[in-house]
Chains A and B, each alone.
Chain A
Amino acid sequence: MNRLLQERFHGFDFVLVVAMVGLILAYAVQRAQAQGAAPKAAAAPAGNADNGKKLYKSYGCYQCHGYAGQGGAGARIAPKPIPFQAFVSYIRAPKGQMPPYTAKVLKESELADIHAFLQSLPEPPKAKDIPLLNNE
Chain B
Amino acid sequence: MDKSEKTKKSSVDRRDFLKLAATGAAALVASAKSAEAEEEVVAARPDTGAPKASEAEVLTTDRPGSDFMVDVMKSLGFEYVFSNPGSSFRSLQESIVNYGKNKDPEFITCCHEESSVAMGHGYFKVEGRPVAVFAHGTVGLQHAAMGIYNAFCDRVPVYVILGNTFDATKRRPGAEWSHSVQDAASMVRDYTKWDDMPISLAHFSESAVRAYKIAMTPPMEPVVIVADSDLQESPIEGNEPRLTKLTLTRPPQGDSGAVAEAAKMLVAAENPVLIADRLGRTAIGMKYLAELAEALQAPVIDGGGRMNFPSHHPLNQTERRGALLSNADVILGLELGDYWGEIHTMRDQLHRSTRNNYKQGVKLITIAATELYSKSNYQDFQRFQEVDLAIGADGEATLPSLIEEVKRLTTADRKRAFEDRGKKLAAARGPAHDRMLEEARYAWDSSPISHARLAAEVWAQIKNKDWALVSGGGGWAKRLWNFDKYYQYIGGPGGGGVGYGSPAAVGAALAHRKHGRFVVNIQNDGDIMYAPGVLWTAAHHRIPMLTVMNNNRAYHQEIMHLQRMASFHNRDITTAHIGTTIEDPNIDYAKLAQSMGWYAEGPITDPAALGPALQRAIASVERGQPALLDTVTQPR
Point out residues on A near B: beta carbons under 8 Å.
Answer: 58-60, 62-64, 66-73, 76, 96-97, 99-102, 104-106, 124-127, 130, 132-133, 135-136
Q: Complex: how many Å from CA A126 to CA B554? A: 31
B484 to chain A, nearest CB (A): 11
Interface size class of B (residues with CB under 8 A): 35 or more
Q: Is B106 on the interface with A (CB-CB < 8 A)?
A: no
B602 to chain A, nearest CB (A): 19
Which chain A positions have C-beta within 8 A of B448? 67
Inter-subunit contact A133/B574 (CB<8 Å): no
Residue of B nearest to A95 (CB): B347
Inter-subunit contact B573/A101 (CB<8 Å): yes
Inter-subunit contact A124/B563 (CB<8 Å): no
- The secondary structure that dominates the A interface is loop
Which chain B positions have C-beta within 8 A of A62? 635
A61 to chain B, nearest CB (A): 9
Knowing A68-B442, A135-B456, the reply to whether A104 touches B635 (Cβ < 8 A) is no
Q: Complex: how many Å from CA A101 to CA B569? A: 10
Residue of A nearest to B437 (CB): A127
14 cross-chain CB contacts under 8 A:
A60-B563, A66-B446, A66-B635, A67-B448, A70-B446, A73-B636, A99-B563, A106-B573, A124-B441, A125-B444, A127-B437, A133-B441, A133-B480, A135-B459
Q: Complex: how many Å from CA A59 to CA B437? A: 29
Given contacts A67-B446, A100-B568, A133-B437, 12 further A-B contacts (CB under 8 A): A60-B559, A68-B442, A68-B446, A70-B450, A71-B439, A72-B636, A102-B570, A127-B440, A132-B460, A133-B480, A135-B456, A136-B312
Listed from nearest, the 6 A-B pairs whose CB atoms lie closest are A72-B636, A70-B442, A99-B567, A70-B443, A68-B443, A132-B456
Inter-subunit contact A73/B560 (CB<8 Å): yes
Q: Complex: how many Å from CA A69 to CA B571? A: 24
B154 to chain A, nearest CB (A): 23
Which chain A positions have C-beta within 8 A of B568? 99-100
Q: Complex: how many Å from CA A97 to CA B561? A: 12
Inter-subunit contact A60/B576 (CB<8 Å): yes
A29 to chain B, nearest CB (A): 23
Knowing A100-B567, A105-B571, A135-B456, the reply to whether A67 touches B347 (Cβ < 8 A) is no
Which chain B positions have C-beta within 8 A of A133? 437, 440-441, 456, 480
Which chain A positions have C-beta within 8 A of B574? 58-60
Inter-subunit contact B567/A63 (CB<8 Å): no
Which chain A positions have C-beta within 8 A of B348? 97
Q: Complex: how many Å from CA A60 to CA B564? A: 11
Residue of A nearest to B438 (CB): A127
Which chain B positions have C-beta within 8 A of A58? 574
Which chain B positions have C-beta within 8 A of A76? 439, 442
Inter-subunit contact A66/B564 (CB<8 Å): no
Which chain B positions have C-beta within 8 A of A136? 312, 482
Which chain B positions have C-beta within 8 A of A69? 442
Which chain A positions have C-beta within 8 A of B559? 60, 63
Q: Complex: how many Å from CA A67 to CA B459? A: 24
The residue that A126 contacts in the complex, of B441, B459, B572, B576, with Cβ under 8 A, is B441
Which chain A positions have C-beta within 8 A of B570? 102, 104-105
Inter-subunit contact A73/B635 (CB<8 Å): yes
The residue that B556 contacts in the complex, of A63, A104, A106, with Cβ under 8 A, is A63
Q: Complex: how many Å from CA A70 to CA B607? A: 16
The residue that A132 contacts in the complex, of B451, B457, B563, B634, with Cβ under 8 A, is B457
